[in-house]
Amino acid sequence: MKMKKKSVSEWVKSGDPWVWLNAGAVAISVIMVLGLLLLIAVRGLGHFWPADVVESHYALPGESEYNIVAERVESLEVPAAQLREAGIDIPDNHQLMQRTLMKTGNRDVYGSDFRWVIDEYITNTQRPDMLFTAERREWGNLYGYLKAVKEDGQITSQTTDLTPTDSALATWAVFEASIERAAGIYDQIHDIEKGDIGKINYALERIRLKQRRLELEDKLTPAAEADLAVERSQYDEEYKGLQQSLIDLYQAFNRDTFVVQVMDGSEHEMPVAKIVHAYRANAMNVGQKMSFYFTKLWEFLSDEPREANTEGGVFPAIFGTVMMVLLMTVLVTPFGVVAAVYLREYASQGWVTRIIRIAVNNLAGVPSIVYGVFGLGFFIYFLGSGIDQAFFPEALPSPTFGTGGLMWASITLALLTVPVVIVATEEGLSRIPRNVREGSLALGATKAETLWRVVLPMASPAIMTGVILAVARAAGEVAPLMLVGVVKLAPSLPLDGNYPFIHLDQKFMHLGFHIYDVGFQSPNVEAARPLVYATAFLLVLVIALLNLSAVTIRNHLREKYKSLEM
Amino acid sequence: MAGMGIAIGGSSVILAVLLICFYLLYEVAPLFSSASIDLEASYSMPAEDQGESLYLTTEEQAEVGMRVASNGSIVFFSVADGSVIDTVKNLRTEKVTAFAVESDTSHLMAFGYEDGKALIVKHDYRISYPDGKRKITPVVEYPYGEDAIDVADFAIKKLTLRDGSDAMTMAAIGDNSSAITKVTKEVNFITEEVELSEQSEPLPFVADVASMLLSGDQRYLYVATRSGAMSEFDLRDFDNIALKDEMSLFNGDAKLVSMTYLLGKSSIMVADSSGRVSQWFNVRNDATNEEKLTFIRDVKQPVALVDLAMEQRRKGFATLDERGLVAIYNATSTRQVIDEKLSDNTARLISFAPRANGLLLEDSKGLHFYHVDNEHPEVSWSSLWGKVWYEGYQEPTYTWQSSAANNDFEPKYSLMPLAFGTLKAAFYAMLMAVPLAICGAIYTAYFMAPALRRKIKPVIELMEALPTVILGFLAGLFFAPFLEENLAATFSILVVLPVGILIFAYLWSRLPQQIRWLVPDGWQPLVLIPVVVFLAWFCLALSPIIELNFFGGNIRGWITHDLGITFDQRNALVVGFAMGFAVIPTIFSITEDAIFSVPKALTQGSLALGATYWQTMTRVVLPTASPGIFSAIMIGMGRAVGETMIVLMATGNTPIMDANIFEGMRTLAANLAVEVPESEVGSSHYRILFLAAFVLFIFTFIVNTIAETVRQHLRKKYGSL
Furthest-apart CA pair in chain A: how many Å?
107
pLDDT band at A1 (very low <50, low <70, confident <90, very high): very low
Q: Is residue B280 part of a domain?
A: no
* Buried-exposed string B218-256: b where 16+ CB fall within 10 A, e elsewhere: bebbbbbbbbbbbbbbebeebeebeebeebebbeeebeb
Counting other chains too, the contacts that A434-442 makes at CB distance below 8 Å and 24 or more residues apart are A436/A564
Q: Is residue B643 part of a domain?
A: yes
Q: Which residue has the higher pLDDT, B464 or B589?
A: B589
Q: What are the CA-CA distances from residue A459 to residues A167, A336, A433, A464, A549 (Å)? A: 72, 13, 11, 9, 17
Choose, out of A369, A380, A447, the residue to mutate when testing the contact with B (most B CBs < 10 Å). Answer: A369
**Residue B409 backbone phi and psi in degrees, to 5:** -70, 140
Write out pLDDT tens, residues A269-316. Answer: 889 888 888 888 888 889 999 999 999 999 899 888 887 777 888 899
Does residue A2 register a pLDDT over 50? no
Q: What is the CA radius of gyration of chain B?
A: 36
A21, B439 Cβ separation under 8 angstroms:
yes
DSSP code per residue over A25-74: HHHHHHHHHHHHHHHHHHHHHHTTS----EEEEE--TTS--EEEEEEEEE
> How high is the pLDDT of residue B91?
86
Write out pLDDT tens, residues A398-449. Answer: 888 888 889 999 999 999 999 889 988 988 888 888 888 899 999 999 888 8
Pick from B27, B485, B645: which is nearest to A479 by CB? B645
**Which of B221-225, B289-293, B368-372 has the lowest average pLDDT?**
B289-293
- d(CA B51, CA B47) in angstroms, rounded, equals 8
Q: What is the mean pLDDT of residues A74-93?
A: 78
Q: Is residue B384 part of a domain?
A: no
> How high is the pLDDT of residue B557?
76
Pick from A368, A472, A483: which is nearest to B465 by CB? A472
Q: What is the mean pLDDT of residues A157-162?
A: 84
CB neighbour class for A443 (10 Å; exposed up to 12, middle 13-18, buried from 19): exposed
Contact map slice: A 471-510 vs B, CB within 8 A: 472-473, 475-479, 482-483
Compute how many other C-beta atoms are within 10 angstroms of the C-beta atom of residue B719: 8
Three-state secondary structure string covering B532-594:
HHHHHHHHHHHHHHHHHHHCCCCHHHHHHHHCCCCCCCCCHHHHHHHHHHHHHHHHHHHHHHH
Q: What is the pTM of this model?
A: 0.88
Does residue B708 register a pLDDT over 90? no
Least Cα distance to B378 among B35, B680, B87 occurs for: B35
Q: What are the CA-CA distances from residue B502 to residues B30, B448, B525 (Å)? A: 60, 18, 13
Peptide bond into A397 cis (omega under 30): yes
Least Cα distance to B6 among A116, A535, A456 occurs for: A456
Q: Do A367 and B643 touch (CB under 8 A)?
A: yes
Contacts (Cβ under 8 Å, ≥6 apart) of A187: none
- Nearest Cα residue in chain B from A381: B681
Pick from A22, A381, A448: which is nearest to B447 by CB? A22
ipTM of the complex: 0.88
A463, A337 Cβ separation under 8 angstroms:
yes
Query: What is the rounded (10 degree) CA torsion for A192, A195, A196, A201?
Result: 120
- d(CA B636, CA B436) in angstroms, rounded, equals 13
> How high is the pLDDT of residue A480?
92
B215, B226 Cβ separation under 8 angstroms:
no
Q: What is the mean pLDDT of residues B144-150?
A: 86
CATH number at residue B689: 1.10.3720.10
Q: Strand pairing partners for B128?
A: B135
Q: What are the CA-CA distances from residue B390 to residues B35, B247, B282, B329 (Å)? A: 23, 21, 11, 16
Write out pLDDT tens, residues B608-663. Answer: 999 888 899 988 899 888 888 998 999 999 999 989 999 998 888 888 888 888 88
Mean pLDDT of chain A: 85
Q: Do A515 and B473 touch (CB under 8 A)?
A: yes
Nearest CA-CA distance, residue B333 and chain A, Å? 26
Full residue range of the structural domain in which residue B121 is found: 90-209
B536, B493 Cβ separation under 8 angstroms:
yes
> How high is the pLDDT of residue A5?
56
Amino acid at A458: M
Write out pLDDT tens, residues B177-188. Answer: 888 888 888 887
Pick from B10, B478, B613: which is nearest to A339 by CB? B10
pLDDT band at B345 (very low <50, low <70, confident <90, very high): confident
Q: Is residue B495 part of a domain?
A: yes
Share of chain A above pLDDT 90, in %: 17
**Residue A79 backbone phi and psi in degrees, to 5:** -65, 140
Q: Is residue B295 part of a domain?
A: no
* Buried-exposed string B355-393: b where 16+ CB fall within 10 A, e elsewhere: ebebbbbbbeeebbbbebebbbbbbbeebbeeebbbbeb
DSSP code per residue over A111-142: S-SEEEEEGGGEEEEE--TTEEEEEESSS-EE
Residues of chain A neighbouring B462 (CB-CB closer than 8 A): 33, 544, 547
> How high is the pLDDT of residue B51?
86
Residues of chain B neighbouring A529 (CB-CB closer than 8 A): 477
Domain end: B178, B209, B240, which one? Answer: B209
- d(CA A237, CA A493) in angstroms, rounded, equals 26
H-helix or E-strand containing B309? strand B305-310
Q: Do A29 and B11 touch (CB under 8 A)?
A: no
Nearest CA-CA distance, residue B229 and chain A, Å? 52
- d(CA B65, CA B58) in angstroms, rounded, equals 4
Write out pLDDT tens, residues A217-267. Answer: 888 788 888 888 888 888 888 888 888 988 998 988 888 899 988 888 888
> How high is the pLDDT of residue B110?
92
Domain end: B187, B209, B231, which one? Answer: B209
> How high is the pLDDT of residue A128?
87
A487, A465 Cβ separation under 8 angstroms:
no
Q: Is residue B640 part of a domain?
A: yes
Choose, out of B1, B4, B12, B14, the residue to mutate when testing the contact with A (most A CBs < 10 Å). Answer: B14
Furthest-apart CA pair in chain B: how many Å?
119
- Nearest Cα residue in chain B from A2: B513
Q: In B188-255, which ranges are E strands?
A: 194-203, 209-214, 220-225, 229-234, 242-248
B91, B146 Cβ separation under 8 angstroms:
yes
> How high is the pLDDT of residue B153?
85
Q: Do B477 and A381 touch (CB under 8 A)?
A: no
B352, B359 Cβ separation under 8 angstroms:
yes
H-helix or E-strand containing B120? strand B117-128
- d(CA B335, CA B132) in angstroms, rounded, equals 42
Q: Is residue B229 part of a domain?
A: no
Write out pLDDT tens, residues B501-512. Answer: 999 988 888 888
Counting other chains too, the contacts that A195-199 makes at CB distance below 8 Å and 24 or more residues apart are A196/A242, A197/A239, A197/A242, A198/A492, A198/A498, A199/A497, A199/A498
Share of chain B above pLDDT 70, in %: 98
- d(CA B481, CA B489) in angstroms, rounded, equals 13
- d(CA B489, CA B550) in angstroms, rounded, equals 13
Q: What is the mean pLDDT of residues A80-102?
A: 79
Q: What is the mean pLDDT of residues B538-564?
A: 79
- d(CA A394, CA B319) in angstroms, rounded, equals 47
List the helix and strand counts (H, then E) for chain A: 19, 13
What sign results for the dihedral spanned by CA atoms B423, B425, B427, B429?
negative
Peptide bond into B411 cis (omega under 30): no
> How high is the pLDDT of residue A215?
83
**Residue B195 backbone phi and psi in degrees, to 5:** -105, 135
A-to-B residue pairs, Cβ atoms closer than 8 angstroms: 325
> How high is the pLDDT of residue A566?
43
Residues of chain A neighbouring B498 (CB-CB closer than 8 A): 21, 24
Amino acid at B176: N
- d(CA A36, CA A25) in angstroms, rounded, equals 16
Residues of chain B neighbouring A336 (CB-CB closer than 8 A): 13
Give the count of domains, chain B. 2
Q: Is residue B223 part of a domain?
A: no
Domain end: B209, B227, B245, which one? Answer: B209
Nearest CA-CA distance, residue A315 and chain B, Å? 19
> How high is the pLDDT of residue B99?
92
Compute how many other C-beta atoms are within 10 angstroms of the C-beta atom of residue A91: 9
Does residue A565 register a pLDDT over 60? no
> How high is the pLDDT of residue B500?
92
Mean pLDDT of chain B: 87
Q: What is the mean pLDDT of residues B279-296?
A: 87
> How high is the pLDDT of residue B720?
61
List the helix and strand counts (H, then E) for chain B: 17, 31
Q: Do B513 and A339 touch (CB under 8 A)?
A: no
> How high is the pLDDT of residue B2?
64
- d(CA B96, CA B71) in angstroms, rounded, equals 6
- d(CA B124, CA A334) in angstroms, rounded, equals 63
pLDDT band at B58 (very low <50, low <70, confident <90, very high): very high
H-helix or E-strand containing B173? strand B167-173
CB neighbour class for B564 (10 Å; exposed up to 12, middle 13-18, buried from 19): exposed
**Residue B651 backbone phi and psi in degrees, to 5:** -125, 170
Q: Do B470 and A536 touch (CB under 8 A)?
A: yes
Does residue A6 register a pLDDT over 70? no
Q: In B353-406, which ranges are E strands?
A: 358-363, 366-373, 400-401
Q: What is the mean pLDDT of residues B537-548?
A: 83
Choose, out of B466, B586, B702, B710, the residue to mutate when testing the contact with A (most A CBs < 10 Å). Answer: B466
What's the CA angle centered on B437, arms B431 and B442, to 5 degrees? 130
